[in-house]
Every structure is written in C-alpha cells, then in structure tokens.
Amino acid sequence: MISLLVFLGVGASMLGLNLDRQLGVTHLARSAADLMRADADLSNAGVRSALLRAARGLRISTTANQSQGVVIVSKLERGATGININKNVVVERHVIGNSAINASAIGTPSSVNADGTVNNFNSDLTAVATLPNNMLLQSGQDLVVVEVYAMGDDIRFPGVVNIQKFRSIIYQ
C-alpha cells in the first residue's frame, strides 16, 4: 500500500513538473511573438535578455553552448519576385539559445545577417517556409512564427514517463 502511494506521489510530482515546463515554454513563445509584433529589435542583446527573463526555469540562455533550449523567431512574407515568387519566405530570423537542440519546423534560411534579415529571400530556395496545411500568405500579408524547444529534466523513475523535450510553436 505504501509503495503504491509513493508511486502515485512521484507520478503526480513528475506530472506537475512537466506541466510547469510546458506552460513556461508556451509563455516564452507568446512573449517572443508579442515582441516581434511590437517591432522590438531581437538582435539587441538587451531585448534578448529581457525575453529570456520570461524563460523562468527553462535553462535557455544567450550563450549557445550553455543553453538547454532554443527560441527561433521568424517573420514570413509572400515572395514577390525571383524563383520564390508566390511562396512563403522567411524574411527575418532570430535564433536565441542552442540551435543544436532543434532545427526550425518551417525551414532554415542559409544566409541571415546579424540584424536578423535574410539575404536574397526572393532567390534563395532555403528561405522558403513550409507552413501547416500548405497555408499560403496573401500578397502584403506577414506572419510571425515563434518556435521554442526546451530540454526536460534528466530525472528518471521506473514506470514514470519523462518528457525529454518540450515545444511550443506560435503562429501570429
């Protein structure tokens, strides 16, 4: 009987920790989307640090090799000319944290400037973004996509599911 109570207690604790981590990841993604929509300069170290204060307990930092997660912020538009005409393209990309944790789900442009602007997005095929259900932006429309990936705790208990990676993707 006591072993069952211990097992249930550990399971409830793990569930609570995992729920807290997922809520933190979602909160961080929404905060990043709000900053991008407010035209905040995410290439600015102060803005990045302020954003990561919302990452309470997620162990995401601006030092890539010390970070246990990554925030990928992209601004998409519809290509106007070149080989990417009428395709969704990434025109701005900011990566905060450890990019080795997870690649972007929508694509990764090959050439991004320090200020986050994507070079040659109308002529570079790597700038094409893939959206769910083949959604296509209209001319003049833009979309902010924020992806947050954070590693779970390395706590393991027999018989208890432990989530290894948390994610949240916001389309705004």
CA 10 to chain centre: 30
Mean pLDDT, residues 19-39 taken together: 88
pLDDT of residue 107: 93
Band (4; pLDDT cuts 50, 70, 90): confident
Identify each DSSP E strand in the chain by its residue range.
69-78, 88-97, 142-151, 165-171
CB-CB contact of 74 with 172 (8 Å): no
Q: CA 95, CA 113: separation in Å to the nearest integer? A: 12
**Domain regions of the chain by residue span:** 2-171
Q: Are 128 and 93 in contact (CB under 8 A)?
A: no
pLDDT single digits (tens) 70-115:
999 999 999 999 999 999 999 999 999 999 999 999 999 999 999 9
Residue 165 · residue 102 · CB < 8 Å: yes
How far is it, in rounded angstroms, from Cα 56 to Cα 111?
A: 31
Terminal C-alpha separation, the chain = 50
Find the DSSP H helices in 38-138: 45-53
Alpha helices in the chain (DSSP H): 2-37, 45-53
**pLDDT score recorded for residue 143:** 95
Structure tokens at 123: 């002529």
pLDDT of residue 160: 56
Distance in angstroms (rounded) separating the CA atoms of residues 147 and 28: 9
For 171, the token pair is 């389309």
Model pTM score: 0.88
